[in-house]
């Protein structure tokens, strides 16, 4: 069984091939790792200001474009002070 099965209905963080970071609830996936993310928001990192969260809603992300899917510990995540975290944004995957 795919390891993603156990992530269903949990909060996950997706890093895409273009270097973006999406957070949301994994609702489904298929054999090519196309995924359904509900209540999706994007976290935009910057070195000059805190993390900006952009609410996006329901998304289907195509598997081609997915680099990493990670399980988020919601208790740890909710303690983060996003407004005071700075970081270099990721670059795109280089082929």
Partner 1 sequence: MLPLSLLKTAQSHPMLVELKNGETYNGHLVSCDSWMNINLRDVICTSKDGDRFWRMPECYIRGSTIKYLRIPDEVIDMVKEDAQAKSRNRTEMNKNRGGNSSQNQRGGRPGGNRNNVGNRPGQGYGGPGNNAMRLGGTAGQGNRLPHAAKNRK
Residues near partner 1 (CB under 8 A) are: 16, 18, 27-30, 34-36, 38, 56-62, 64-65
Q: Which is nearer to partner 1, 15 or 50 (CB)?
A: 15
Q: Which is nearer to partner 1, 18 or 77 (CB)?
A: 18
67-71, long-range: CB < 8 A, 24+ apart: 67/15, 67/16, 67/17, 67/93, 68/13, 68/14, 68/15, 69/4, 69/7, 69/12, 69/13, 69/14, 69/26, 69/33, 69/35, 70/12, 70/13, 70/14, 70/15, 71/7, 71/10, 71/11, 71/12
Q: Smallest distance from the beta carbon of 82 to partner 1, in angstroms?
A: 22
Q: Smallest distance from the beta carbon of 38 to partner 1, in angstroms?
A: 6
Q: Smallest distance from the beta carbon of 81 to partner 1, in angstroms?
A: 28
Q: Which is nearer to partner 1, 44 or 50 (CB)?
A: 44
């Amino acid at each position: 069984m795919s390891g993603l099965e156990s992530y269903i209905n949990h909060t996950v963080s997706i890093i895409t091939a273009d270097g973006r970071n999406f957070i949301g609830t994994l609702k489904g996936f298929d054999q090519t790792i196309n995924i359904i993310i509900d209540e999706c928001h994007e976290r935009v990192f910057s070195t000059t200001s805190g993390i900006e969260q952009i609410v996006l809603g329901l998304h289907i992300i195509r598997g081609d474009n997915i680099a990493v899917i990670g399980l988020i510990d919601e208790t740890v995540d909710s303690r983060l002070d996003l407004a005071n975290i700075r970081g270099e944004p990721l670059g795109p995957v280089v082929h």
